[in-house]
Structure 1
C-alpha cells in the first residue's frame, strides 16, 4: 500500500513548478519539518490567548467604570446609602452655651420720671435674697416726698371736715362763734398795724440818727464802733418792721377765711356742698399723687431673686444704663445653648441635654424648654482655634434639673450636648 501511494503521489504534477525530484520526499524527511511548524504554532497560541483575555478584562473594567458609576443600580446602592446615612447621622448635637437665671438678668434702675437720682440708703448687698416689691434703695427725693404726702393728707382731712360742716348746716351758736372769730381777727389786725406803725416811727428816728452820726464819723469825731451801733439798730428795726408787715398780711388772710366761713355757715346752699365736695376730691387726688411720688423715691425689687451685682453705691447718681443692682432668679437656672442654624431642625422641645464644665464636677442634666425665633451671631466663643468664630446660631433654652450646683455661676461658659 505504501508503494502505491507513493507512486500515486509521484504521478501528480508539481504545484510550484519544481521538478518531481525536488518535491518528492520520504516520510522520514517530512516529519521533522512538520513538528517544527507545530511547535511554533503552539508557542504563539500560548501567549496570544492570555493577551486576549487581559484585553477583554481591561475592556470590561473600563465599561464598568464608565457606565456603572454614572448609573448605579438602584437596588444595589440603596442599602449601602441607607447604611452610610445611618452611620454618619449623629445621635447628639454638641454646642457651647452660657448659664443664666430664669427670666434672664434684670438691671433694676431708678424711676425715669425723677430724672437723675442719688442714692441715700442702700438696703441690700451682693448675694442677698429679695422678694418682689422689697425696697432695694432709697433715693434723695424720699424725704421731700414724705413731707408732701403729709401735707396732702392734712389738706384732705381739712376738706373732709369742711364738707361735713357744710352738709350739716350751721347752728346759731356756730354763727355767733364764727362772728367772734371774725371780730377777733379784725382786732388782731388793728393791733398788728399799731405795732407796725410804732416800729416804723422808731425806724425813721434811728435812720436819721444813723445819717447824722455817719456825717460825724466822716469828719472823724466818732469811732467806727459807735457808728456800727446805730447802723445795727437801724437794721434790727428794719427786720422787725418787715416781720410786722408779714404778720399783718397773714392776719388779713385769716380774716378773709373767717369771713368766708361765716358766710358759709349762715346759709347752706347746694352750690356750697358741691364746692366742698370738689375741694375734697382735689385733696384726695393730691394724696394719691404724693403716695406715687413717695413710691418713686424708692427702688423696689421687680421679682423674687438674688442680688447678683451692685452697680451703684451710696452717694452715687444712678446710671440709667447699669441701674442700681442686677437681680436674677437663681433658684431655677437655665442654659442658653447656641445651636448652628444647620442643626436647629433636629432640636425639639423636650429633648434631654447634658451640661459639662471644668468648674463643677460631673454633668448636669436638663430638657429643652424653648427654641429661639431669630438667627444671630454667636456670643460664646470656644477655645478651639480651628472652630468658626463668625457663625449664625439660634439660641435654645434648656431648663436644668439641678440648679443648686450652679446657682452662683451666672454667665459661665458650658458645653452642651443635646440628644436627638
Structure 2
C-alpha cells in the first residue's frame, strides 16, 4: 500500500521480554582502550634525589659561609689595642701553714678552712694597753668581747679605758650583745672628760642600750651579757662591773687585789660563810644575779677605785681566765710566770718581752686554753711603770678535771 503524507507509519513494537526504564537515557556505546604505565621521566612525584617542596634545607648543607676578605690598610695606622684593666688582687688572709686563703675561705696550700674572725681577735691601743678575746677550746662560738683605748696627754700623762663583756650562754644572740655593749661603752669612756664614776655609769647605760637594740633587731632572742670597765687617769683606776667579769690590780710589789665583787650566786654563798673555793666549784658558781639585757632588773655598775701609779698590771678578764686562778695572788703568779717566759724568749730579739701587754694577754689566753679552755677567754691589760718581777710562789696547778668550772654552759645563767 502506498503511504501518503497524511499517513504515519506504525511505531516499532517493543520486545515484551525487555524491561526498559523510561527515565534512563540511552548511553552510546564506548570503545575500551587498554591503559599503559606512565613514563617516569614525565612523572611529577618526588624521588629520593629531590627534596620535598616544603622541606627546609639543612643549615650550611653546602658548607660554611665564606670568610670575609681581609682588609688591607694602606698609608694608615691601626687603632691601638686597649689593655685589659688589671685585676686587683685581694688578700683573703694567710693560713697557719703559710698558704693564702682563697675568696671562699679555703687555704690554697693545705685546704684548711679560714677561722671565723669572731673566734679570736685582739686590739692594742698603745704600748701600754691591749686586749685579746678568744673562743677557747670547748665552745663552738665566742660570746666574749672586749675593747680598749689609750692616749698620751699633752702634759705627758696617760689616759686609758678598758672594757670586757661576757655573753650569757643560755641567752640567745649574746655574742652580738657582748660585742655591741663593749663598743658602746668604750665610745662613752673615750670621748668624755666627766668624773670617772659618772662616766662608767653612762657607759653602762650605753652598753645596756646596745644590748636592748640587739633584742629589738632579733625579737625572738633574749640577749644578755656581763660588763666590767675601767677608766685610768692620773695614776688612778676607777672600775665598774655588772655580773661576774672581774677587775684585778696585780702590782709588781705589794698585795694583789681583786677590784670587783661578783653579782653571782657563788658570791652570795661566800657572803653566807661558804668557802670561796667550794662556792666557785659548785653548780651555781656562774649563775649571775645582775646583767645587761632587756630583762635585767638593774644594770647600775658597782664602782671601786685603785691607785695604780706603782709598777704593775691592771687586768680585766672574763671567767674563762679566772676559772683557773681566782685568787689574786694565784693570778699574779700566773701572770709573772708568763711574763718571765716572754722576757726570755725575746731577750735576743726586739725585746719588749713581758712588758708588752698584747703578748702577755695572748700568753694568758694560751695558758687558760692549756688548762682546758672550758669557756671563752678575754683578757685586757694596762701596764703601769717598768717591769720588775721578783721571785714568788708558783702558779696554781689544779687541772680542769679537778675543778668544776660552773654550770649552765660555763657562762652561767640568770638568777
What TM-score, normalized to structure 1?
A: 0.21
The structure whose residues are more often helix, as a share, is: 1
Structure with bigger RCO (C-alpha 8 Å, 6+ apart): 1
What TM-score, normalized to structure 2?
A: 0.21
